[in-house]
Amino acid sequence: MTDDVVLRVLAKQMIPFILLFALYVQFHGDYGPGGGFQAGVLFGAGFMLYGMVFGVTTLERLFPGGAFRIGIAAGVLLYSAVGIAGVLLSGNFLDYNVLAADPKAGQHMGIIVVEFGIGVTVAAVMIAAFYAFARPKA
Amino acid sequence: MSEILDYVLLLLLAATAIGIVRLRGLIAVVMLSGIYSLLVASLFIVLDAPDVALTEAAVGAGAATILMLGTVALTTREEKRARFRPVSFLVVVVTGLMLIYGTSSLPPFGAEDAPAQVHVGPRYLTEGYEQTGVPNIVTAVLASYRGFDTLGEVVVILSAGVGVLMLLAGRRRAQGEKGQ
Amino acid sequence: MDFVDGFATHYNYWIVIILMMTGFYLVIARPNMVKQLVGLSLFQGSMFILYISFAYVTGGSAPIIVEGEQSYANPLPHVLILTAIVVGISTTAVGLALVVRIHQAFGTIEEDEIHDLTRED
């Protein structure tokens, strides 16, 4: 935590845009550069910046560490669920063609959901690791 | 133009690496390794890999630097002994020279007919858009063609996350069980 | 191989090997564990550059399909390295967590001091 006014004001201005950019990278990843891995790390970096400037205690009051522990597993489960959905719709594991009537629409849907799962896990791991290093006794 | 940028960035990378070897203050070392990652990210932009550059910039210059600074804050700030080790240096030089000799059989940089360019890559580029409807082929290959591989990678990240939490966050309970 | 010709076509690979060996030296020669992990990430970074150099095509563009563009960089190494970077930071985080725990247990993160401490026991 810092008392530097410049840092506090600038961080407050920038963090919403970092998180917005992360969401853009997440959901625009099929048309431009980006995807789940990049978005997850960017999202995590936004949280880390907040924690560094305003103190990890403040951040933890807003977002308890337990939420991110659930997020770590939730992303992987979402990814696997898409794979199993393919099996249930009589395709192969992780076969997106069967997810919608049109194979191309199915591919698109599958890719977006899978990338979202990746993003959730990566962001949650980054923030959980940050908590662990910043407050090792918690 | 991109060749000049490539040369300059690689030269800066080598200088940063040597700086990392020579410095003993660990905070400076960690900051230099952040700079190293940022240079690598700039190089990826020059080499037409914007997806990888975005990841490297966010991971290397952001997350990794913060985690390393956290470690330095929890441990020590100074490397105690930075002796020159002749045997290690000799091993490194010999290995390096052998590897440089090995590069003579690699295809020239940027060649279109290199073995790496003729196998599956062109098929992804010509058929990927029609099959998935996703213009960014990196995303298409990552999430669709190599979806199973990526699932494995995400599980690796999950395991790493669980490992960090077990090592650092689960301590109080472990000490409580010992009756401290 | 002629040196001047080799410089133009293999410069990337040579610098990659220099960076790789710098990281290797840090890992084998330095007792400080944080420095060893930094060396490991230097090594990793050089590997990433090697793969992306393989993918590069002179005069090509980023592998995002645009009308009228003929030549693209190979997307496969990009995918491999993209995931490798994120897996790399996760494993580095585990390594750093281990270093923190080692410091709590031994009060030092110098490899030779830990060696001395465990020998006395």
Q: Give me chain B's average pLDDT, please.
A: 87
Q: Give the confidence band of A136 by pLDDT, cuts at 50, 70, 90.
A: low
Q: Which chains touch C (3+ CB pairs under 8 A)?
A: A, B
| Greatest mean pLDDT among B26-30, B112-116, C4-8 | B26-30
> What is the tens place of the pLDDT at every residue in B135-177?
888 888 888 888 899 999 999 999 999 999 998 876 554 444 4
Q: Which residue in C89, C90, C97 is closest to A132 by CB distance?
A: C97
List the structure tokens of C118.
């465990």
pLDDT at B32 over 60: yes
Enter the ipTM.
0.90
pLDDT at C65 over 50: yes
Give the closest-approach CA distance of A6 to chain C in angstroms.
30
**Percentage above 90 pLDDT, chain A:** 46
Phi then psi for residue C62, to 5 deg, are -60, 145
Question: pLDDT at position B98, please?
Answer: 94
Q: Mean of the pLDDT values across residues A76-92? A: 90
| Whole-number Å distance between alpha carbons of B22 and C59 | 38
Helices A103-134 & A5-27 angle (0-180, nearest 10): 150
Across the interface, whether the CB atoms of B144 and A110 are under 8 A apart is answered yes
Between chain A and chain C, the number of residue pairs with CB atoms below 8 A apart is 24
**A71 and A123 in contact (C-beta within 8 Å)?**
yes
pLDDT at A138 over 80: no
Q: Mean of the pLDDT values across residues A64-84? A: 92
Q: Mean of the pLDDT values across residues B60-80? A: 88
| Whole-number Å distance between alpha carbons of C78 and B152 | 17
Chain C CB within 8 Å of residue B23 CB: no
Q: Give the confidence band of B95 by pLDDT, cuts at 50, 70, 90.
A: very high
Q: Which residue in C82, C93, C97 is closest to A37 by CB distance?
A: C82
Across the interface, whether the CB atoms of B54 and A93 are under 8 A apart is answered no
Q: Mean of the pLDDT values across residues A47-59? A: 89
Of the candidate ranges A40-49, B7-16, B121-130, C93-102, the one whose mean pLDDT is the lowest: B121-130
**Percentage above 70 pLDDT, chain A:** 97
Question: pLDDT at position B170, please?
Answer: 67
Q: Mean of the pLDDT values across residues B71-89? A: 86
Query: Structural domain boundaries of chain B?
Result: 1-81, 119-180
pLDDT at B94 over 80: yes
Q: How many C-beta neighbours within 10 Å does residue B103 have?
A: 17
| Whole-number Å distance between alpha carbons of A80 and C102 | 36
**B73 and B49 in contact (C-beta within 8 Å)?**
no
Q: Which residue in B147, B155, B164 is closest to A114 by CB distance?
A: B147
What domains can be seen in chain C, in order of their start residue? Answer: 3-120 (1.10.287.3510)
Measured between beta carbons, the chain B residues lying within 8 angstroms of C27 are: none
The residue among C87, A132, A80 whose CA lies nearest residue B157 is C87
